[in-house]
């Protein structure tokens, strides 16, 4: 069973005792050695509950605010929360919304199957990965038409990068503790 599933099982378990059949408590203990953000993201991905999104988003906002300060990028607490929440949502979305991750869409969909041809998905350019569009992103974040695309894009992309790094570092630390 992958570690994310085991962490999710441990978080939802009523019995965390360690014996010859119960080792999920070891995973939870190993998370204590990860950063707070990394552990929070592991719990979010493992459990997948809506109530875990807020603590993960708040912790990411705290780290994002520090990272922006180091880069001399101005960002207030509310903007950091907004950018981190959007970054977290985009980081968790793996597959393209247009092709469902296949990288291909049908040309002439709905016609006779002989007339249908596959083409690279125009949203992800055939990669199958989620690529956010500014219009979608600005709607999700509740931004007005006068908001700066470049300003928000830099901060949301930084939030996604921070989340990915923290998650993978926490996963490595958990795996190292369990070896």
* pLDDT tens sequence across 55-99: 888 999 999 999 999 999 989 999 999 999 999 888 888 888 778
Q: In angstroms, rounded to a whole number, what is the distance separating the alpha carbons of residues 60 and 132?
A: 19
Interhelix angle 149-178/36-47, rounded to 10 degrees, is 90
- At residue 119, what are phi and psi to the nearest 5 degrees? -140, 160
Consecutive H or E run containing 29? helix 24-31
The reported pLDDT for the residue numbered 22 is: 44
Segments making up each domain of the chain, as ranges: 3-93+130-178, 98-128
Q: What is the pLDDT of residue 98?
A: 78
β-pairing, 104-107 vs 117-120, is: antiparallel
Report how far apart, in Å, the C-alpha atoms of 2 and of each of 27, 42, 46, 175 are: 11, 12, 10, 11
Q: Which three-class secondary structure state does DSSP give residue 129? A: strand
Question: HSE of 155 in the Cβ direction (CA atoms, 13 Å)?
Answer: 31
Instruction: Compute CA 82 distance to the chain's CA centroid, rounded to the nearest angstrom.
Output: 14
Q: What is the pLDDT of residues 105-160, one digit of tens each?
A: 776 655 555 666 778 888 888 888 888 888 888 998 999 888 899 999 999 999 99
Predicted structure pTM score = 0.69
Q: What angle do CA 168, 172, 175 make, to 5 degrees?
A: 135
Is residue 42's pLDDT more than 50?
yes
């Amino acid at each position: 069973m992958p570690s994310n599933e085991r962490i999710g099982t441990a978080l939802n378990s009523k019995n965390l005792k360690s014996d010859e059949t119960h080792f999920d408590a070891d995973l939870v203990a190993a998370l204590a050695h990860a950063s707070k953000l990394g552990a929070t993201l592991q719990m979010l991905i493992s459990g997948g509950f809506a109530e875990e999104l807020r603590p993960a988003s708040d912790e990411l906002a705290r780290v994002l605010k520090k990272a922006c300060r180091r880069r001399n990028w101005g960002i207030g607490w509310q903007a950091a929360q907004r950018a981190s929440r959007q970054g977290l949502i985009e980081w968790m979305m793996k597959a393209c919304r247009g092709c469902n991750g296949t990288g291909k869409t049908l040309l002439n969909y709905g016609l006779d199957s002989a007339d249908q041809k596959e083409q690279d998905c125009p949203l992800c350019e055939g990669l199958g990965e989620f690529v956010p569009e500014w219009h979608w992103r600005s709607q999700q974040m509740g931004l007005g038409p006068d908001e700066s695309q470049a300003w928000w894009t830099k901060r949301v992309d930084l939030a996604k990068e921070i989340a990915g790094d923290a998650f993978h570092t926490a996963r490595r630390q958990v795996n190292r503790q369990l070896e």
